Amino acid sequence: MVPFLSELEYSFWHAFVPWVTVHVLDMPPITVFPNGSGDTTYNYVHLLCLLALSLFIMLAWSVLDRKRDHYEGMHYWLRVMLRYYLAGTMITYGFAKIFHIQMGYPSLSQLVQPFGDKSPMGLAWSYVGFSKGFSAFAGWSEVIGGVFLFFRRTTALGAMICIAVMMNVVAMNFFFDVPVKLFSSVLLLMCFFLLAPDAGRLLNVLLLNRTAEPGLFRNFLPRRWMRITAVVIKILFIGATFYGEISSGLKRRYQWGDLRPKPPLYGIYNARLLVRNHDTLPMLLTDSSLCKQLIIQTPQRATVKFMNDSQEYWAFMVDTISRTATVFPYTDTLNKYKLSYKADSASLVLEGKLFEDSVYFQFSKQDIRSFRLMNRGFRWVNEYPYNR
């Protein structure tokens, strides 16, 4: 039943949001639907629709139920839902950082990418992902804040930790153009909402130097069996959350993380000799048809960097038994070429037929540790700053 409702809601918003965009906001039709970005036009219009719907329901409810004195019970359960949703979200993102999955080490392509060509988001991802320790620190901060939110007595502490964490996340998303600005801002607002009832007590302690009254925790489950059931559900939920995130994180390390298997011929290869139809080609920086670097970092794929620093993605399927590589540009999948290869720890030779030409390429393999970023390491003592 739940998947059916989810699909029904999904279909409704996919029809309603584009209609609002064109007929209410008088904007061009939406062509990009939800994807890896959380800040698409669709997302902004969807949020506007939700806000309008919420205001309408609030006004209608206030009129129809105007004689009610308070909504303590509904406020309590709203806080419960927000606490658990925010806790689950923080723990999910936290373990993704702890297992070094969300932001991984800079890839081989990024190591040879000119600094000025990086996007702001790519720079932020490289900054966090370069240090496994810093990534884990950020992740544990999110997990610890999330855990405190599971319990009423530690909600204020959890909210304060999450506010500190999410303010940094929101700042990074805004100032480094990370397209999760809407979602992260909503999470930050949730943190402030959960902390709001304790704002007066914190103000007395931290600023006014006054005595703070203890917080009151009213129980909205009147029967004993209800309270016992709630405790059991809480334990099962927390256990399932941690089991799911930890088991998923351990598995994803081998799929997307640091332990994923490297493809055959993994490495950065710099062109040393290029021969076409038995003629040695001069390696001119102005010749955009000549390969400058071959970067192999993912299975069945390679990045070809040309002399003018432009690059293309090529299929590069290696057969280690026959010692051949089937290659072709993704712009032309009809014509595939098989090259034989010879490789050792320091070089790579490719030979065969490419397009209409016979080719012989020699590459020297670059030592990854030759990059300053990868060999500097951590120093307890620095007599002088090493800022390059």
Q: Which of 100, 205, 215 is nearest to 151 (CA)?
A: 215
* Structural domain includes residue 141: yes
User: 361 and 269 in contact (C-beta within 8 Å)?
Assistant: no
User: 169 and 138 in contact (C-beta within 8 Å)?
Assistant: no
Q: Which of 196, 227, 255 is the last residue of a domain?
A: 255
Residues 338 and 249 both lie in one domain: no
- Residue 145 confidence (pLDDT): 97
The residue range of the domain holding 169 is 70-255
- Residue 3 confidence (pLDDT): 53
* Structural domain includes residue 220: yes
* Structural domain includes residue 260: no
Residues 168 and 234 both lie in one domain: yes
- Residue 5 confidence (pLDDT): 45
Residues 187 and 250 both lie in one domain: yes
Tens-digit pLDDT string for the chain (388 aa): 345 546 887 889 999 999 999 999 999 999 998 888 889 999 999 999 999 999 999 999 999 988 888 888 888 999 999 999 999 999 999 999 999 999 999 999 999 988 999 999 999 999 999 999 999 999 999 999 999 999 999 999 999 999 999 999 999 999 999 999 999 999 999 999 999 999 999 999 999 988 888 877 888 888 899 889 999 999 999 999 999 999 999 999 998 889 999 999 999 999 999 999 999 988 888 788 889 999 999 999 999 999 988 889 999 999 999 999 999 999 888 889 999 999 999 999 999 999 888 999 999 999 999 999 898 888 899 888 888 8
* Structural domain includes residue 123: yes
Residues 176 and 314 both lie in one domain: no
- Residue 220 confidence (pLDDT): 84
* Structural domain includes residue 318: yes
Buried b (16+ CB within 10 A) or exposed e, 132-164: beebeebbebbbbbbbbbbeeeebbbbbbbbbe
Q: Which of 255, 288, 312 is the last residue of a domain?
A: 255
Residues 75 and 218 both lie in one domain: yes
Q: Which of 255, 282, 300 is the last residue of a domain?
A: 255
The tokens for 275 are 């021969």
CATH number reported for the structural domain that contains residue 280 in this entry: 2.40.128.270
* Structural domain includes residue 8: no
Residues 243 and 325 both lie in one domain: no
Residues 240 and 321 both lie in one domain: no
Residues 153 and 192 both lie in one domain: yes
- Residue 78 confidence (pLDDT): 93
* Structural domain includes residue 287: yes
Residues 126 and 154 both lie in one domain: yes
Residues 229 and 300 both lie in one domain: no
* Structural domain includes residue 113: yes
State the DSSP string of 163-210.
HHHHHHHHHHHHHTT-S-HHHHHHHHHHHHHHHGGGHHHHHIIIII--
- Residue 284 confidence (pLDDT): 83
- Residue 2 confidence (pLDDT): 46
Residues 176 and 242 both lie in one domain: yes
Residues 355 and 294 both lie in one domain: yes
Q: How many domains does the chain have?
A: 2
